């Protein structure tokens, strides 16, 4: 699924992430980015950026986005390289 926000939508930042992180998320959403729905929560998504993964909520009423969490994204080749280390 592709998520894209409109020009008037806001990105809320209740956990006070640094402004460049919020701007990266906003840019991803303005361009339209592939997102994965949370199977247990309605209107919650994971969105992969170049370096980070974002966990967000999109308001079905206002279209505003709430940035709930962000973590460094692991590339698949990283996991493949570590495969031989697993017991």
Distance CA 63, CA 35 (A): 15
Pairing, β 11-12 against β 2-3: unpaired
pLDDT in tens, 2-60: 999 988 899 999 999 999 999 999 999 999 999 999 999 999 999 999 999 999 999 99
Residue 81 confidence (pLDDT): 54
Predicted pLDDT at 7:
82
List of E strands, 1-87: 2-3, 11-12, 33-37, 44-48, 52-58, 65-72
Q: Which domain holds residue 29?
A: 2-85
Q: What total number of domains does the chain contain?
A: 1
Domain CATH number, residue 38: 3.30.2310
């Amino acid at each position: 699924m592709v998520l894209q926000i409109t020009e008037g939508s806001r990105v809320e930042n209740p956990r006070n992430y640094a402004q460049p992180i919020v701007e990266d998320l906003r840019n991803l959403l303005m361009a339209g980015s592939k997102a994965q729905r949370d199977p247990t929560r309605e209107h919650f998504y994971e969105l992969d950026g170049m370096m980070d993964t974002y966990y967000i909520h999109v308001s079905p009423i206002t279209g505003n986005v709430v940035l709930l969490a962000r973590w460094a994204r692991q590339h698949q080749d990283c996991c493949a390289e570590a495969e031989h280390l697993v017991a």
